[in-house]
Amino acid sequence: MPIGGPRVTQFVKTVLIGMPFVCALGVFVDWQHDNAILRHQGIEITRDLNRDSARIRAINDWVYQNRGFGKNDHYFMVAALGPTPVQVLEYGGDCSDKSRLVGAMLTELNIDAGLVMLSPCPKCGFIHTVVEARSESGRMVVDPIWHVDYPTEDGRFLGVRDLAGTSLGRDRVAELQKERGLADKIAAMPATEATFDYAVGMNWDKDAATRTVAATLRLLGYPPDQMFRPRFLEDPKLILSLFLICIGMIAVCAKFLMHFSGIVQTIAGRRISEIASHRTTSRSQSRPADPSACPSAARANPWRGEPGAAAPHADPDRRVRERRRVFRSRYRAEDRHDLGASVARTHSHHPCSRGRARI
């Protein structure tokens, strides 16, 4: 029995289309497992705290003290996406890595949070990453690398917009450097990493695509510079699951378009065949069955030689003409007979005298 055929081909196509969804489901389940670990750890850290600002500070303090501050080289499937929050939880990391962990843990505690990137000038590269979260009194910034937050005298905390264009961030760092002394890590913190004049959650000026998205958000009434950085940009497993779902949707759409185009081609082919068949039938009906019979039938007398056929109306002139034609033909035949006889009498037959003699 031959292996293959339409059924096997259809099965292979179905498997190829369904594979991205299956992989996305597996990655999504793994991501949910990581979230459960982060949620459990966050609940343990903030068990006795009632205010969001206190929870935010507690998570920032714990991440600062957890593991080291070197760059985390671990990753999930794609190295360019960096480590997952759980990998940072297990192995530590630099400012962007630990900020990623703080943001993920706060999100699991139902606290809005996102990463913020600092730059010393408008066209300069980013030099530092912190976290901005929403507390009961507004937004507040925490730094899990230098163990810094920015409170006010009335018990509130400062966000990026409060710190931008001021020296409040640098003043807070100078105050902590005095307070903690030279033995603390904050003694090496540069003032540029506490300057928020060009801080952004998203680099909307990166390329044409991001600028288009920013313009669309402004038209819809959502200021892009006030939005938190989306979590999927800082969670490799989440972005991979979304990417695989997109691949699966593209495959489904391509399959649908191919099926639809096949239906259209089938219908068009049937229509063309019907039109061609109709034209062929019309031509065969308009063409006579025996073309040579038409002139003879037109010249023949329709009622002569057909027994029982009704004769047409009497035409005396026509009968006279026919009789004259008959008589004339008879006379011509008799004349030819007389002419032949006279010629025969005039030239009598003489046998040839030349040639072989008969014995």
DSSP 239-273: HHHHHHHHHHHHHHHHHHHHHHHHHHHHHHHHHHH
Q: Is the residue at 91 inside a domain? A: yes
Tokens coding 112: 């809005």
Identify the CATH number of the domain in which residue 109 sits: 3.10.620
Q: Is residue 87 part of a domain?
A: yes
pLDDT, residue 291, reads: 52
What is the domain count for the chain? 1
Residue 219 lies in a domain: yes
In this prediction, what percent of the chain has a pLDDT beyond 90? 55
Which pLDDT does position 186 carry in this prediction? Answer: 94
- Please check the confidence at residue 222 and state whether its pLDDT lies above 60: yes
Of these ranges, 12-21, 187-196, 338-347, the one predicted with the greatest mean pLDDT is 187-196
Q: Is residue 353's pLDDT more than 70? A: no
Residue 151 tokens, joined: 């409170």
Q: Establish if 264 belongs to a structural domain.
A: no
Would the pLDDT of 255 be above 90?
Answer: no
Are 72 and 203 in contact by the 8 Å Cβ rule? The answer is no
Asked if residue 151 is part of any domain, the answer here is yes
Mean pLDDT of the 54-69 span: 96
The yes-or-no verdict on residue 357 having pLDDT over 60 is no
266 domain-assigned: no
Q: Which of 48-52, 278-282, 290-294 has the lowest mean pLDDT?
A: 290-294
- For strands 138-143 and 148-149, give the pairing: antiparallel
Mean pLDDT of 181-201: 94
Does residue 131 lie within any of the structural domains? yes
Identify whether 277 is part of a domain.
Answer: no
Q: Are strands 113-118 and 148-149 parallel, antiparallel or unpaired?
A: unpaired
Q: What is the mean pLDDT of residues 31-53?
A: 95
What's the pTM value of the predicted model, to 2 decimals?
A: 0.71
Bigger pLDDT: 330 or 358?
330
- Three-state DSSP at 218 gives helix
Mean pLDDT of the chain: 82
Q: Output DSSP code: residue 357.
A: P
CA-based Rg of the chain, rounded to a whole angstrom? 52
Domain that holds residue 91: 15-245
- Give the CA dihedral 19, 23, 25, 26, nearest 10 degrees: 140
pLDDT recorded at residue 160: 95
